Amino acid sequence: MNSASIGFETPGMQNNGRNFFFRVAEAMTLDGLQIDCAMAPLPNITGFAEMFVCGYLLKAAPVFSAGPEGFFSTAQSPDFDSLAHQPQGIDFRGGNVSDGGMFSFILKEWMPKGASNSVYMPLGLTASPGNYILFHRLRNTWHAIDFELQAVLFYE
* pLDDT tens column, 101-110: 888 877 777 7
Please report the domains of the chain, with CATH numbers, ordered by start residue: 2-75+95-155 (2.60.120)
- Alpha-carbon distance 116 to 130, whole Å? 32
- Alpha-carbon distance 85 to 154, whole Å? 36
- What is the chain's mean pLDDT, rounded? 81
What b-and-e string marks burial along 124-147, b requiring 16 or more CB atoms within 10 Å of the CB?
A: ebebeeebbbbbbbbbebebbbeb
pLDDT for position 94: 60
* pLDDT tens column, 59-98: 888 888 777 667 777 777 888 776 666 667 666 666 667 7
pLDDT band at 33 (very low <50, low <70, confident <90, very high): very high
pLDDT for position 26: 97
pTM listed for this prediction: 0.80
